[in-house]
């Protein structure tokens, strides 16, 4: 993730921040990232099923997936894997 210096915001006339996919539909990308991150930890979760998880917190998804697949998952490791995807 790129960190933008605060001084650039002071110089800007406007800032567009798209957190929920209103301007750019990122659900499929996020689902693919979830799927890849979980696969690297031995959990097969196809992207279409992972798409249903988009919007939930990482801790909630990790807990639900770990319980459903009866595996131990480290929330911080999974989150890093998603961010790197």
pLDDT digits (tens, 9 = 90+) for 64-82: 999 999 999 998 988 888 8
Whole-structure pTM over 0.75, yes or no? no
What's the rounded Cα separation, in Å, for the pair 77 and 80? Answer: 5
Q: CA nearest 30: which of 73, 74, 82?
A: 82
Q: Is the pLDDT of residue 84 over 70?
A: no
By residue count, the chain amounts to: 85
**pLDDT at position 64:** 92
Nearest residue to 50 via CA among 64, 22, 18:
64
Phi, psi angle pair for 16, to nearest 5°? -105, 125
The DSSP 8-state label assigned to residue 70 in this structure reads T
């Amino acid at each position: 993730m790129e960190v933008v210096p605060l001084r650039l915001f002071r110089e800007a006339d406007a800032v567009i921040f798209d957190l929920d996919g209103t301007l750019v539909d990122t659900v499929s990308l996020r689902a693919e990232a979830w799927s890849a991150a979980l696969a690297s930890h031995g959990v097969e979760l196809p992207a279409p099923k992972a798409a249903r998880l988009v919007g939930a917190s990482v801790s909630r998804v990790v807990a639900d997936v770990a319980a459903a697949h009866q595996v131990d998952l480290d929330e911080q490791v999974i989150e890093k894997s998603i961010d790197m995807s």
